[in-house]
Amino acid sequence: MTKRSPFRYFKTSPEIIRLAVMLYVRFPLSLRNVEDLLHERGIDVSHESVRYWWHRFGPMFASEIRKQRISGMKSSKWRWHLDEMFVGINGEMHYLWRSVDHEGEVLESSVTKRRDKKAALKFLKKAMRKHGQLEIFVTDRLRSYGAALKEIGAADKQETGRWMNHRAENSHLPFRRQERAMLRFRLMRSLQKFAAVHASV
């Protein structure tokens, strides 16, 4: 049975849709910036079309990239660098948890309202379901990590140190640039979706 194309009802070519979504996610551009860039290349689409394409196809593109990347990254020396960052949503503080591997690739992200053991445990279990077991977890000194790793029986795999987690901290910078370009987030759901796609692209 032939698999139907997800682009079958769209007049715009898949290549242009993919380009628009990648521009929006990969670079610190607003929807109107993407509209202007495409217009300069002779492609007449509105920023609302780019918004719709991003919501419709962004997760699909991210999944394709993630599958290709993860299959070639796993090794006996696979290390995860875990870190969390503050993100404001409508004036309220939320936390974006992220795991980065030893090559600097973002593997997983999760948004929570708290930064406690329960939130850390949920994030770790989600990441390990997708990517399996590994040898080393590099974290900062947040106690939530230690408590969560102890509960899943991986306390002996945790490493902490002042300078050991720069790889995760540096991975936040592209996200911060994009956050400013998008004028912040208004919903947890939107933040979670964007963080997942942005990490892969």
The ranges assigned to domains in the chain are: 14-71, 79-187
Q: Is the pLDDT of residue 10 over 80?
A: yes
What would the mean pLDDT of 86-107 be, rounded to a whole number? 82
The closest alpha carbon to 85, from 111, 119, 116, 123, belongs to: 111
The closest alpha carbon to 112, from 191, 185, 55, belongs to: 191
Q: Is the pLDDT of residue 78 over 90?
A: no
Is 122 in contact with 110 (CB distance < 8 Å)? Answer: yes
Q: Is the dihedral of CA 25, 31, 36, 41 positive or negative?
A: positive
Structure letter (DSSP) for residue 131: H
Instruction: Give the type of residue at 93.
Output: M
What's the pLDDT score for residue 119? 92
pLDDT band at 27 (very low <50, low <70, confident <90, very high): confident
d(CA 177, CA 179): 5
What's the pLDDT score for residue 15? 93
Token pair for 160: 């902490």
CATH T-level topology, domain 79-187: Nucleotidyltransferase; domain 5 (3.30.420)
The closest alpha carbon to 193, from 80, 111, 131, 120, belongs to: 111
pLDDT tens digits, 41-61: 999 999 999 989 988 888 888
Token pair for 101: 């591997």
What's the pLDDT score for residue 147? 93
d(CA 138, CA 81): 5
What's the pLDDT score for residue 53? 92
Q: Going by C-beta distance under 8 Å and a sequence separation of 6 or more, which residues neighbour residue 143?
A: 117
pLDDT band at 117 (very low <50, low <70, confident <90, very high): very high
d(CA 19, CA 101): 27
pLDDT tens digits, 163-196: 777 777 777 777 777 777 666 677 777 777 777 7
Q: Is the pLDDT of residue 124 over 60?
A: yes
> What is the number of other CB atoms lying within 10 angstroms of the CB of residue 26?
12
- Sheet containing 158-160: which strands, arranged edge to edge? 106-112, 92-101, 79-89, 136-139, 158-160
What's the pLDDT score for residue 137? 87
